[in-house]
Amino acid sequence: MTREELAQFDGKDGRKAYGAVNGKIYDFTGSKLWQNGDHQGLHSAGQDLTEELKNAPHVRAVVERFPVVGQLEEAAPEPAGGSGKMGFVVMGVIAVAVVVYFILR
């Protein structure tokens, strides 16, 4: 499941309440502590809660009691050099250097 898909499970308006922790997606829907996708005013369903859980007053084992309903897909990393623009810049510099070389020859 992508982050965009996970966001649809925010627990509001009768939707299920899902949250991701360390790549696993858990279903918090049946928990009284996750009413309407809100956990005690501190956390919201429909997102990756991994970083937030590091500061939670309970251990990860509490979250692991909930049913696992999927895996969170990570976005593919960008290629080295950003989005490929650097390659065009390098090719442009080389092309200019070749033209200048032939002009000054």
Q: Output the pLDDT for position 8.
A: 96
CA 64 – CA 92 distance, rounded (Å): 53
Burial of 56 (0-12, 13-18, 19+ CB in 10 A): middle
Q: What is the pLDDT of residue 43?
A: 87
pTM of this prediction? 0.67
pLDDT in tens, 61-90: 788 899 999 999 975 444 455 555 666 677
Number of alpha carbons in the 13 Å side-chain half-sphere of residue 74: 7
The pLDDT tens digits for 9-49 are: 999 999 999 999 999 999 999 999 999 999 988 889 999 99
CATH T-level assignment (fold) for domain 3-74: Flavocytochrome B2; Chain A, domain 1 (3.10.120)
Kindly provide the residue ranges of all beta strands, DSSP E only, lying in 1-105, ordered along the sequence. Answer: 18-21, 24-27, 38-39, 43-44, 47-48, 68-71
CA 75 to centroid of chain Cα atoms: 7
